[in-house]
Structure formats: structure tokens, C-alpha cells
């Protein structure tokens, strides 16, 4: 082994070098691990390519992204009509390669539609389950599961030899570097062999054969040509990963670049790990906003709300469509889910440009509420509906309205006019109404505390905001956004969550939702004297006292399983070893907690 390779292997940094022509000359194990150039599977398959008659099973979270540039026309190879799909769609499909006689089975969710996508069937005598869930793409053939965890997008593909009844290919992390995306393979590309602890040969090949990223490639070219001295600690997206890297020249005796060394930040450095994680969150957020052409350039206040999990994305898109109409909107959800924030964002993107008034119905009672909303003959200027003419009124906690106010509101929504107190003369006003409620309005109707006719008129256009525990994929985005808001609010330097603190935030159920998370982070920021926030700074409520011991143990067990899977990057074999449980027990627990 030469001295340079020995030094690189001893380093905790991921790094590789290349010559003047861009060919890789050295690469260390850390870089191979980082980019999935090792195979850690316990199973094997030989090298090859798709052949006529192969059974192909695929699941892509966004067609054309991280899947070998898959296009609708590529799906003709599986007899899928390309007119039924489009770029950005979520697809699960089963078909026979290059065999027109076999009809495919597939499901599609367009990019604007949220939700989990699943397909389960017996195809050509093979039992198959395919699913795309937030953070996980999975294919199960017979009883063998092939799954890949992902952050922004992914594609899983499994190929079965129907005649020999065996799996002959499956995707694993690093498929982008190996050019094994489903698009590449459907177009005739080859796949490499897999066996435990094998690795790809990288030395001697051009770096672009394994490392893709437009900005990264341009910066390498500039350093090799001597146009730029070097790049240090730059953020890049390489093979779909958000990384911090330095590109440094290797100079000859005459001072000219004869190669470069690319060094990625040390994975052992806690601060670097935190920075790279935050960079990954920000990169994914940018990608989501750029890819989602539903929102215009002026809709930043709306597109930056909450996160982009499938559950929240569906609610956001529906809300956006309603905002562009001129209808009444009811926003429901638990306390702290962001109902008021959503209403304020909708106000900014709606077509109306008039006044925007907010009335908290829970803070006013009786006669005062009547005068505030509809005015009186003695003081007509108090009427909120008069002051908001041409604009919008937000009625927070509309379920708190007294019966008399409910009737007045119903009359206004129906006739666009209201009667001030002690007056028989109607006042017309062009006002749009947004309303929020953390109460179950239908339950209030059943209890006789809310008018049924008003409820049905309000709920005709209703947006339900999910609790945070049902969209955990949004937690990293929310942490990132809230930390930035807190920093600006108190004019403080940047602070970062340690890995353990971050994991603690991820595993908590957040009964108080986004509002509770904001309070927890504000407290943590104020308690932390350094720029790192540790678990002891994170104060969260304990499980509700009314929960039984069995319920609390089950909740804790689920969190332990989720944490182990998160720590092991979704690798179930590693998670099972980490928890030191048998295979039967481990998979029974995954099934019990719906984590399969």
C-alpha cells in the first residue's frame, strides 16, 4: 500500500483523490461507506441486466428524481401506458419486461396528491407487496423484504426470474453511484454483482462515473483548470446527499494543479455532523419548493409553512386551492397545530386585497361579542364586518360563539348582510370568512351547543390539520425553521441540537403540537450556554397520567424500535443486533407496532 492510501485510510474523513483528467487515483473506506460503494446485504446475486420475461417490481417516490431519470416512455418496457403517468408522480408497479402479452398492475398518485401508496397482489404466482411510505420504499417478494430508507426521494426495484422462481436483483443504497437506477436498467443498463461486504472498484474510473452533482462537478473542473485556487467547506448535493466538502489542489513542482483531493467533513466531529444534518434539511426543503410548481414565486409565506410529509402536503395543497377561490374556509385541528398560522398564510395568497381582521371568539362574551362583530345603533363603527368590507375576517375558535351570534353569522354567510344590535336595517358587506376550531364542532352540534345549519355551511370547505405525531417526517423541518425564528427573535448566535437531543425531539409524541415544540426549543436555547443543545436542555411532558402501565410500556417499546431503526438508517438486521433480540421477536414487534 502506498503512503497516501495509508494516510487516507487512517483518517476519519471521507476522501478521494483524482488526477489531472478527473480519474480517481485513491479513495478511502470512509468515502466508500458514505456513498454506498460497499454492499452490506446478507444475500447475493450475480451481475447482469434485465432480460425479456423478467418480473419487475418497482416503487418510486417521485418519477424522474433519484431513479435513473425514469421517464413515462421508459415504462412502456413494462406495458404501462405513458399517458397515465407523469414526471414527479409516486408509482408502485409490477410488470413483465419486454413481454407485450402480460398486463401490468400499478397504482399512481400524482405529485399534488398526498398519502401512502400500497399494492398487494399475487402476480404470475408470486405473492408481492409494494409500498411507499414517508421515509421508506419497500418491496416484499414471498417473505423476503427489500426496503430502503430515504429522506427526500428514492426508488426501490426488485427483479424476479419467473421461471427459476428466484430474485435476481434488488436496489440498495448507493445505486446512483452504480448507475443502477430503474430508468438506467429499463433502458438496457447493467447491474453489478452483490455479495456480503463486496465493494465497487472506483480507482481508475472518472469521478463522474460515481459522483454526480452539477455544482460539485463545476467546482472540480475549476480547481483542476487552475481557475479557482480551492473550495473549502462548501455545501454540495452529490448523488442525492447534502454534504459539506473541500476541493483542494495537488500541485506539481511548477505550481500547476496535477490533481485534486476531495475531503468530506469528519463523521466523528459532532458539530460537523450537526451542520451536515441541517444542510440536508435545508437542501431537501429547497428541493421540495423548487419541485412543487403548484405555488408561485410570491407564495413563500405559504410554501414555507409546516413541512412536506405526505399527510401535511395533502392538507396544504387543498388549502391552497381553497384560498384561490372566494369561499368560506373552516380550519380544524388540535391546539397548537398551526390553524392561525395557516389562516394568515392563506390571507397572503388569496385574491382579495382588502382588510384582514382577527377576532378571538374565546376571549369575548355575550353582548360584547355581538357589538364587536355586528355593531349597534349607538356605535356602528365597532362592527368588524363593516370594517372588513372588501376583505376577510378570521374568527378564531368559532365554536365559542353564543347561539345569538351563531344565528347572526349564519344570516351573514347566507345573505352577505347583517343587522346591528337594536336595528331592523340590514348592512351589506363583502367579507370573506375564515374560521378555526380546536373543538369537535360536530360533537357540539350533537350536544345542542352549535347550530347544525351553521356547521354544515362552515364545513363545506374544511381543512383538517393533522397532529404532529401523525406527520413525524415534518419534525426536522419544523425544528430547523423554529430554531431560526428563535435566533432572530432574541438576536442570538446560531445554536444546534446534538444528535441525542435531535433524536429525543424525533421520538416524542408532541401532545401540544407545534406550539409545544416552539416552547421547548425556546427554553432549550435559553438554558444552553454553548452553541450545542444537549438532551438535558430538552424538557418535555411525561406520558399522560391516565395512561395504563400497559399503554405506557407499549408507547415506550414503539419509541425504542423507532429510535433503533433511525440510528441504523432503516437497516433492520443492524437494528435487531443493536437491540439484541431474536429475529422472530423483532419482526413480531415491528408488525405489532405497524413499523413493517
User: Which domains are present in the chain?
Assistant: 3-35+203-265 (3.30.450.20), 48-191 (no CATH), 300-464 (3.40.50.300), 468-537 (1.10.8.60), 549-592 (1.10.10)
Q: How far apart are CA 482 and CA 476, in angstroms?
A: 10
pTM: 0.49
Q: Does residue 307 register a pLDDT over 50?
A: yes
Q: What are phi and psi of 443, to 5 degrees?
A: -65, -35
Q: Do 369 and 405 contact (CB within 8 A), yes or no?
A: yes
Q: How far apart are CA 371 and CA 420, in angstroms?
A: 8
Q: Does residue 332 register a pLDDT over 90?
A: yes
Q: Which residues contact 421 (CB under 8 A, 6 or more apart)?
A: 367, 370, 371, 374, 375, 376, 377
**What average pLDDT does the chain have?**
82
* Side-by-side strand order, sheet with 462-464: 356-360, 392-396, 432-437, 329-332, 462-464
pLDDT computed for residue 105 by the predictor: 95
Decide: helix, strand or coil at residue 298. coil
pLDDT tens, residue by residue, 278-297: 555 555 455 444 444 445 54
pLDDT computed for residue 521 by the predictor: 92
pLDDT computed for residue 190 by the predictor: 92
Four-residue CA torsion sign, 126, 131, 136, 137: positive
Question: What residues does 242 pair with on adjacent strands?
Answer: 237
pLDDT tens, residue by residue, 20-66: 999 999 998 888 877 767 665 667 888 899 999 999 999 998 898 88
What average pLDDT does the segment 478-488 reach? Answer: 86
pLDDT tens, residue by residue, 493-529: 888 887 778 878 887 888 899 999 999 999 888 888 7
pLDDT computed for residue 269 by the predictor: 47
Q: Does residue 275 register a pLDDT over 60?
A: no
pLDDT band at 319 (very low <50, low <70, confident <90, very high): confident
Q: Does residue 579 register a pLDDT over 80?
A: yes
Q: Do 137 and 154 contact (CB within 8 A), yes or no?
A: yes
- Coarse DSSP helix, strand, coil percentages of the chain, rounded to the nearest 5 percent: 40, 25, 40
pLDDT band at 298 (very low <50, low <70, confident <90, very high): very low
pLDDT tens, residue by residue, 95-115: 999 999 999 999 998 765 666
| The Cα angle at residue 182 between residues 179 and 188, in degrees rounded to 5 | 75
Q: What are phi and psi of 510, to 5 degrees?
A: 55, 65
Q: How far apart are CA 5 and CA 500, in angstroms?
A: 34
Q: Does residue 129 register a pLDDT over 90?
A: yes
Q: Which residues contact 457 (CB under 8 A, 6 or more apart)?
A: 328, 410, 413, 414
Site of grid cell 494543479: 257
pLDDT computed for residue 540 by the predictor: 79
Q: Does residue 226 register a pLDDT over 80?
A: yes
Amino acid at each position: 500500500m502506498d503512503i497516501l492510501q495509508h494516510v487516507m485510510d487512517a483518517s476519519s474523513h471521507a476522501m478521494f483523490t483524482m488526477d489531472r483528467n478527473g480519474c480517481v487515483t485513491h479513495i478511502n473506506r470512509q468515502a466508500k461507506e458514505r456513498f454506498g460503494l460497499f454492499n452490506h446485504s446478507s444475500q447475493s446475486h450475480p451481475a447482469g441486466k434485465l432480460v425479456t420475461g423478467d418480473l419487475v417490481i418497482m416503487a418510486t417516490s417521485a418519477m424522474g428524481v433519484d431513479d435513473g431519470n425514469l421517464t413515462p416512455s421508459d415504462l412502456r418496457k413494462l406495458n404501462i401506458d405513458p399517458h397515465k403517468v407523469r414526471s414527479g408522480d409516486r408509482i408502485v408497479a409490477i410488470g413483465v419486461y419486454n413481454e407485450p402479452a402480460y398486463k401490468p398492475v400499478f397504482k399512481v398518485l400524482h405529485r399534488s396528491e398526498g398519502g401512502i401508496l400500497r399494492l398487494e397482489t399475487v402476480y404470475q404466482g408470486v405473492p408481492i407487496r409494494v409500498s411507499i411510505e414517508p421515509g421508506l420504499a419497500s418491496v416484499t417478494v414471498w417473505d423476503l423484504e427489500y426496503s430502503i430508507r430515504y429522506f427526500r426521494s428514492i426508488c426501490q426495484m426488485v427483479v424476479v426470474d419467473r421461471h427459476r422462481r428466484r430474485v435476481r436483483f434488488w436496489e440498495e443504497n448507493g445505486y446512483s453511484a452504480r448507475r443502477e437506477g430503474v430508468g438506467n436498467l429499463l433502458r438496457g443498463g447493467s447491474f453489478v454483482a452483490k455479495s456480503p461486504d463486496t465493494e465497487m472498484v472506483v480507482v481508475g474510473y472518472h469521478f463522474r462515473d460515481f459522483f454526480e452533482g452539477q455544482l460539485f462537478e463545476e467546482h472540480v473542473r475549476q480547481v483542476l483548470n487552475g481557475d479557482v485556487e480551492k473550495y473549502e467547506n462548501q455545501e454540495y448535493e452529490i448523488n442525492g446527499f447534502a454534504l459539506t466538502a473541500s476541493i483542494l489542489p495537488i500541485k506539481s513542482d511548477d505550481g500547476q494543479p496535477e490533481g485534486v483531493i476531495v475531503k468530506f467533513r469528519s463523521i466523528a466531529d459532532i458539530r460537523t455532523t450537526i451542520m451536515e444534518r441541517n444542510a440536508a434539511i435545508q437542501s431537501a426543503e429547497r428541493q421540495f419548493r423548487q419541485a412543487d410548481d403548484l405555488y408561485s414565486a410570491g407564495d413563500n409565506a405559504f410554501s414555507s409553512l409546516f413541512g412536506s410529509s405526505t399527510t401535511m402536503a395533502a392538507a396544504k395543497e387543498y388549502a391552497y386551492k381553497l384560498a384561490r377561490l372566494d369561499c368560506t374556509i373552516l380550519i380544524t385541528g388540535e391546539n397548537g397545530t398551526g390553524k392561525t398560522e395557516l389562516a394568515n398564510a392563506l390571507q397572503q395568497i388569496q385574491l382579495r386585497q382588502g382588510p384582514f381582521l382577527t377576532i378571538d371568539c374565546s376571549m369575548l362574551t355575550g353582548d360584547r361579542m355581538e357589538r364587536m362583530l355586528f355593531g349597534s345603533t349607538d356605535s356602528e363603527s365597532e362592527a368588524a364586518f363593516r370594517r372588513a368590507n372588501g376583505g376577510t375576517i378570521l374568527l378564531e375558535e368559532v365554536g365559542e360563539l353564543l347561539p345569538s351570534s351563531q344565528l347572526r353569522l349564519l344570516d351573514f354567510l347566507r345573505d352577505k348582510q347583517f343587522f346591528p344590535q337594536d336595528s331592523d336595517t340590514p348592512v351589506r358587506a363583502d367579507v370573506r370568512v375564515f374560521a378555526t376550531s380546536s373543538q369537535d364542532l360536530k360533537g357540539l352540534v350533537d350536544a345542542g351547543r352549535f347550530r347544525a345549519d351553521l356547521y354544515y355551511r362552515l364545513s363545506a370547505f374544511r381543512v383538517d390539520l393533522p397532529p404532529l405525531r401523525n406527520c413525524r417526517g415534518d419534525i426536522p423541518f419544523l425544528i430547523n425553521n423554529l430554531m431560526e425564528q428563535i435566533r432572530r427573535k432574541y438576536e442570538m448566535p446560531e445554536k444546534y441540537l446534538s444528535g441525542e437531543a435531535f433524536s429525543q425531539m424525533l421520538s416524542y409524541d408532541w401532545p401540544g403540537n407545534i406550539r409545544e415544540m416552539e416552547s421547548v426549543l425556546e427554553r432549550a436555547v435559553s438554558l444552553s450556554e454553548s452553541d450545542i443543545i444537549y438532551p438535558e436542555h430538552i424538557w418535555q411532558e411525561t406520558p399522560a397520567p391516565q395512561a395504563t402501565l400497559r399503554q405506557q410500556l407499549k408507547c415506550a417499546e414503539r419509541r425504542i424500535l423507532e429510535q433503533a431503526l433511525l440510528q441504523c438508517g432503516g437497516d433492520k438486521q443492524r437494528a435487531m443486533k443493536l437491540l439484541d433480540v431474536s429475529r422472530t421477536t423483532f419482526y413480531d414487534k415491528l408488525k405489532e407496532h405497524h413499523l413493517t
